[in-house]
Amino acid sequence: MFKRLKFHSQQAVLAVAAFAASSAVVLAVGGAFHSVSREPFLGDSPHARLVAVRCDALRERGQRHDCVRQAVAQARSRDAGARQLAAARAPGAGASAQ
């Protein structure tokens, strides 16, 4: 009887260990995707390539990171300004306000 109980307890321990290992792998992969999704990026353009070269030329990792963040922030504000200008120039944009 004790042999059978020992066998079942070993199976339970192995099942828990397998679950823990697979959970750790899933969390590691999910964490990697999460950290990459938070990284800023620029669309491919000659200006973006120039910024990338300029930022990659910096020696310190923190400086490169700050350079990329600043470039993305400038691109976002430039894109937001272009959208606002396009919306203002759209025909009938002022008609709804009247």
1-19 per-position pLDDT tens digit: 567 768 888 899 999 999 9
pLDDT of amino acid 38: 63
Look at residue 64 and tell me if it is in a domain: yes
If phi > 0 it is left, if psi is from -120 to 50 it is alpha, else beta; for residue 94 that is alpha
Two tokens, residue 65: 């990171």
Look at residue 15 and tell me if it is in a domain: no
Between the alpha carbon of residue 96 and those of residues 8, 88, 91, the distances in Å are 74, 12, 11
Amino acid at 7: F
Total structural domains in the chain?
1
pLDDT tens-digit map of 34-51: 776 666 666 777 888 888
Look at residue 16 and tell me if it is in a domain: no
Task: Tell me the whole-structure pTM to 2 decimals.
Answer: 0.42
What range does the domain containing 50 cover?
Answer: 44-85
Look at residue 74 and tell me if it is in a domain: yes
pLDDT tens-digit map of 71-91: 888 888 877 777 777 777 777
